[in-house]
Structure formats: C-alpha cells, structure tokens
Structure 1
C-alpha cells in the first residue's frame, strides 16, 4: 500500500485541513517512536499517530492509531499540545495541512509489531531521541512535553 492508497481523505493538496492525533507513550523512562513509511516524513522517526475518523473522539483516535501502528494499547493521560502543520510545495501551494493534537499516554497492553504504515518501532530516552532524524511534528511534541529544545 502506498501513501496515496491509504484510506480516508486526500492528504496531499487537501481541500480542507485534516485533523491528526499522536501519542507520546512513555514506559520506564523511554519514549515510543516509529519510523514512518509514507510522506510526510517518510523514513523519519515520529510518534505514533494518524487521522481522526468521523464520529471518533480525539483521545479514542490517538489510542486507536497507536495500537494500529505499534500493536501497543495505551491509556491517554493528558493533552500535550495542539498546533498546525502546513507544508508548501515549491510553487507555494499547500501540499499538507494538518491540525495536530498530541497526547501523553502509557502502555497498558498489546504486543509490539509494525504495520504497513511504519517500518520500525523503537523505545528511546529523550537524549537518544534528540540525536535521531525526527519529523518536525515529533520534535515539537517532545519539546513541548520535556520543555527542552531539540537541535
């Protein structure tokens, strides 16, 4: 499955902003990261997440997306942040426009596995995360939660 074949609304050059959710899941002082298979951010490390489905609460979507991408069931603990992610193409047209809502969560069950949307899963410390090739949105969520800039 390619990024274009993923279910749901058109992600590239959308007609309206899309609502996405993510989780910063922490276990034993380590953060759960996934390596993205598709754009935006293909090949980069990110927090688990995806789009909210019609009729779904934000926290439910965040928990569902985390389990879909990693096999790990989570309990949503609190809101971390809400922000816009707007990427323009070379012609200055909006290629991606997301309103993103990130949550802090903890694992409560499940078994780790990758899905077709991610190529790898890794538990890392904040210091390790700072040295990784993170998506802009993952970097923003971690900086907001830990109160420290990631260079």
Structure 2
C-alpha cells in the first residue's frame, strides 16, 4: 500500500532516545516532510510488535540502541490536499528510552542525525508537533 493517498491508515512508530538531556533527531531524507527534523521511526512490518519496530527503526536510521519502555503516546498524523482528500494518514506510537550504545550516524531514510537540546528545537524545521512532543515526553 502506498504511503501517499492510501486506502487505509499506516501504522508507524517513533523513538524519543535521550542522552545527556538531549534528544536524538533525524533529518528526513524522504517525503513526507523531506528535510525536516523528526524523531527516528518508521512503519511497522508484518509480524513485528510495536516495540520491535521501534528498536529496529532506531537502529536502522541512527545506529543507536536504547532501553525502550512502554509506549508513551499514540497520535494520528493526517495530511489532506487542497481538495480535502487524504494524502497521508499515519497512526504513530512513540516510545521513550535512554541511550544504550552505538555511534549516531545517519542511515536508511535519514539524511542527517543529531543530539538536540530542547533550547535548539526552534532553530530547525521540524515535523508538526515535534518540539512540543519532545519537551512534554522528556518529563515522563
């Protein structure tokens, strides 16, 4: 099923990985939101649990492993075109975890990767709601 103009929502995950009071972020290398900074993540594969998908996507996109807990948030990301037709619809579950190992390097769908302090979130283009989500979930 296509990510664009799908006939059903796509299920995805993202990870708030924390180290030294900074969040690991990726610069998106593909649409939607090409060039915007976001939490690492992606789509759940058939037969994979949400947590397995989160760990896999984090490792594939950043080379990092984290101690993931239970999900901390689930939300809809729906974009419509000028005619009101759904362009993308993702149901995203966010996991939070502390850095365990690995050197942060951009891989898979990521064009870049960075450890970002909350004071620096406004200095870069981000996917909708990402700065607020990071600040809120860092307190969980």
TM over 0.5: yes
The answer to which of 93-102 and 73-82 deviates more is: 73-82
Q: Mapping of 1:1-151 within 5 angstroms?
A: 9-146=1-138
Between stretches 109-118 and 88-97, larger displacement belongs to 109-118
Offset at residue 140 of structure 1 (A): 4.9
**Per-residue CA distance 1:95-114 (angstroms, 9 max, x = gap):** 00010100111221223221
> Structure 1 residues 18 and 75, CA, compared in 2 at 3 Å: closer, same or farther?
same
What secondary structure, in the 3-state scheme, does the structure 2 residue paired with 1:115 have?
coil
Report runs of 4+ in structure 1 exceeding 3 Å deviation: none
**Distance apart, 1:142 and its partner CA:** 1.5
Q: CA RMSD in A?
A: 1.6
Q: Which runs of 5+ in 2 are unaligned?
A: none
Contact 1:72 1:107 in 2 (8 A): yes
- Under a length normalisation based on structure 1, what TM-score does the superposition of the two structures give? 0.85
Q: Distance in 2 between matches of 1:17 and 1:95?
A: 11
Unaligned runs of 5+ in 1: 1-8
Count of residue pairs the alignment pairs up: 139
